[in-house]
Structure 1
Amino acid sequence: MKKEFIKTIIFTKTPLKKWFRYKDIFQIYPADFEGMPRSNLQQHFPVVLEYWTSDKDHIDVDVEYENLKASFSQTATQYNKQDKLLSLLTVFTNHVFFRYTPESGFWGVAIQHDSPGQEADSWPVKWVLPEFHWPEMAGKFQLSEFSTPEIQEVDYIDHLPYYFQDPNFDSDTKREITFPNTIDLVLDTYFSTDEDERSVLDSAISYAVSAMELMTSKRTLSLLSSFTSVETMVNLEYRSFVAEKCDGCGQLKHSVSKKYRDYLLKYIGDSISNKKKFNEYYSLRSRIVHTGKRLRTEDIYVKMDDEERLGEYKNMAEVLLLGKLAIIQWLLKKEIRYA
């Protein structure tokens, strides 16, 4: 199988200071090149992603002009593989991994140095494209095999503490990215699933990624995305299940809410407190879907006491974790089941 190795720049919102490699599939490490653009004010931290594509990954793009077909197909193939790897990293860690999309732009001001004062008022506004490159970049990004970064491997944190003890979610950029010590097992199981399971997993993962991406800008939609990620996994779990009807009332004996709760109890943890919490979250999901309820912290400014505000933020973080762990725990238990 012929492999085409690709080296590209992606971004994180918390610094990645060390190196991570998953087998011979991909690796990431901090971008640190001579001549590379730098800023102490940056909120997007450049990271090198190395990966490869093969004929199995190829996407054939139909275009009007035949001479552009090969170029468009190569670009689509690379972006599709990139996006899949970024999605896996975003869901299986506590951080968002992303790339810039070339079709978008915005009005902006170029920050000309790291200590702007009143002079910034006179800096010109221009239409800006999200790009990251420098003159010597092309020569540094040719690749025939994975490189060997001379830096330490990322720090690995025990599985449950990683997700449940101050997961960060890119809220503190003074910290650095760490990984759960189960990430190789989770990735192993993901890549070993059959095509049908993988398709459903990819749908659940896409919703969990949206939940992470929207958590600071569209909080209610972020919650809905996370709830939908869980529901997608519930459907996968019960795909062969046929519910019976009650002889007396004709209602299904296993309601959607019960399957939802039972799934979380099985994969997240079975306890009285969890049962109560999962019921509360399903009720929250129903209020959002059926009555249009919005989180109050959605607005830029709203009068709320500290306890209520903290409660919304806590619910937000816990529901985000549910969306992630609904996938992660399923993969871990599947790995244990078939080990």
Structure 2
Amino acid sequence: MAQEERRQAVERELTMSRAMVEGIAHEMREDDEVFYMGEDVADYGGIFDSTEGLLEEFGRDRVMDVPISETAYLGAAVGAAQEGMRPIAELMFVDFFGVAMDQIYNQLAKNTYMSGGAVNVPMVLTAAVGGTYNDAAQHSQTLYGTFAHLPGMKVVVPSTAYDAKGLMHNAIRDDDPVVYLFHKRLMGIGWLPAPDGPKTPVPEEEYTIPFGSADVKREGEDVTVVTLGLHVHRALEAADALAEDGIDAEVIDLRTLVPLDTETIRESVAKTGRLVVVDEDYQSYGVTGEIIASVAEGGLADLETVERVAVPDVPLPYARPMENEVVPDSEDIESAVRSAHDA
């Protein structure tokens, strides 16, 4: 390939949905045991474009529309994984996990342990998370903290197209169950505009991003902001606004919750002394508290002040003004950083 062609290949930009599909398609070509199943993932291509184009290439034996029974098809996926296949099973909305909690937590997460290591469960559970598009309390939650709290599953939350592809390669190849959660607002679909940021250059070739490796999306000296998913971009927007007033915020994208990269967080807090944790999950018993605790346990002397920004402990409202009130935005993050900086 000529130098100019190489440059163009590296610089091509993809939406997060296209990057995910590209990673899945590569793994399906390389391994016939990889298949995808879920509601509206074949003919429709996934309501968030999570499988667009896969049916045409791989056919209905490997891209399967299923009945509306999460209990049945997630149980089938667990069984297939235990028999040596590598299923990817999609929950259309993460909120639906409740009807298949036995399959997810008592089987997917525990069967390797319960069998004394006799079986592996190399399965990827994908699901759309997040609000900001007015779909009410049963279709708008984030809930990655729920899965991270339950041992036995790795939990992945990409924020950019580059990360989405690399993490997807890693998830499908992993011999343990992986919960891969994508924020619907980041996918880059026409009817749900994405913020600036998730559409990034993505190499055509395969690559992996190791789990447990956070990414410093913006370096800074004054305040550490730790977040993931959609709120990486909201934190970066807040950091740009804060920079105009001389406040230099460092933004860390966790990328995975299990395993959690506490080392990167602690190194940043040792530098800044101030920590702001931002989360679209509920505040109580969640990600914000866990991050703060992990810093305090290993570096309490470095920690001067803490702020957390999260969804209050209420169901997500349907009405747009009310939803906007409870889901943190860049102004909420900016306010928390200013408070930490001035403390």
TM range (shorter): under 0.3
Decide which structure has greater strand share. 2
**Structure (1 or 2) with the larger CA radius of gyration:** 1
Q: TM-score of the superposition, structure 1-length normalised?
A: 0.24
Q: TM-score of the superposition, structure 2-length normalised?
A: 0.23
Decide which structure has greater helix share. 1
